[in-house]
Every structure is written in C-alpha cells, then in structure tokens.
C-alpha cells in the first residue's frame, strides 16, 4: 500500500511538472534573433546613433548604439540580445552628450553635441523584417 501511494505521488509530481513546463514555457521569454549591422547616413557610417527596432505587431523594442564605424548590435533586455522575429519599424536618434576625443592641449575629454545629419533623419521610419536566427541588417538614410 505504501509503495502504491509513493508511486502515485511520483506520477502526480511528474504530471504537475510537465503541465507547468507546458504552461510557462521554457526560457521564460519570447524567441529572439541576433541582429547586427551598420547605420549609414548619406553613404557614410553614422557613429554614436541610437537605433530602435519596434515590432509592428507590438511588444518590447530592441535598441542598439552604433560605434565609430556605424556598427550596432541589438539588445532586447539587460540579460538578452537580439530582437523578436517579424516585421519592425526602425528609427534612429542622435545621442546627446557623447564624449569627444581627448583634447591633447589640456588632457581632458569634452562632451560634443549630436550630429546634425542624424537629427535630420530622427523622425524617418524604415521597415525591415527580422528573420529567425542571425541577421545582418544594414540601415541607410536617406
């Protein structure tokens, strides 16, 4: 009798575990795809630009920051990189207060304002599709 009771408890535990995994899913978040690329403005790499991929079906946006060569990688959350697969609206914004190269005469760094060519395209939206897996999506303005 005790063996049968123990057997039932084990089976019940397994069923509850399977049902929980099915309802909650594995990984605890949406499927994400890696996204990287280059942002160019008037044919030139755009450094220090914030690029945002907003899923058109709703959900959390992914954001990246371009480096000196205009290259970016999207971040979904503090613990996850990438973007939700599907169609997205892409926008860029100038980042204010970027550190300027060091002033060799004083040995100090200064803040420089946003690039005016980036500000010119701040309201422009581009449409792209993020595929499952790894993506290289270059975005050019105009």
* Ranges of each domain in the chain: 34-96+116-140
Average pLDDT, integer, range 14-35: 62
* Predicted pLDDT at 6: 39
* Predicted pLDDT at 115: 54
What pTM was computed for the model?
0.70
Question: pLDDT tens-digit profile of 99-130?
Answer: 555 555 555 444 444 556 788 898 899 999 99
- Residue 80's H or E segment, with its range, is strand 80-81
* Predicted pLDDT at 111: 43
* Predicted pLDDT at 97: 57
* Predicted pLDDT at 1: 53
What SS3 class is residue 94?
strand
* Predicted pLDDT at 73: 98
Q: Name the architecture of domain 34-96+116-140.
A: Sandwich (2.60)
Question: pLDDT tens-digit profile of 127-141?
Answer: 999 999 999 999 999
Query: What is the spatial distance between Cα 43 and Cα 98, in angstroms, rounded to a whole number?
Result: 22
Through-space distance between the first and last CA atoms of the chain, rounded to whole angstroms? 77
Question: pLDDT tens-digit profile of 30-58?
Answer: 999 999 999 999 999 999 999 999 999 99
Query: What is the spatial distance between Cα 93 and Cα 88, in angstroms, rounded to a whole number?
Result: 16
* Predicted pLDDT at 100: 55
Question: pLDDT tens-digit profile of 63-106?
Answer: 999 999 999 999 999 999 999 999 999 999 988 755 555 555 55
């Amino acid at each position: 009798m005790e063996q049968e009771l123990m057997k039932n408890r084990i089976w019940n535990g397994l069923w509850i575990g399977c049902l929980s995994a099915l309802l909650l899913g594995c990984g605890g978040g949406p499927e994400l795809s890696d996204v990287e690329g280059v942002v160019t403005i008037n044919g030139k790499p755009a450094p220090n630009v914030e690029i945002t991929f907003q899923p058109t079906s709703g959900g959390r946006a992914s954001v990246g920051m371009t480096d000196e060569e205009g290259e970016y990688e999207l971040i979904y959350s503090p613990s996850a990189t990438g973007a939700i697969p599907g169609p997205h609206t892409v926008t860029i914004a100038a980042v204010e207060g970027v550190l300027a190269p060091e002033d060799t005469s004083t040995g100090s760094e200064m803040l420089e304002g946003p690039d005016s060519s980036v500000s010119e395209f701040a309201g422009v939206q581009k449409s792209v599709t993020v595929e499952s897996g790894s993506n290289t999506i270059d975005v050019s303005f105009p």
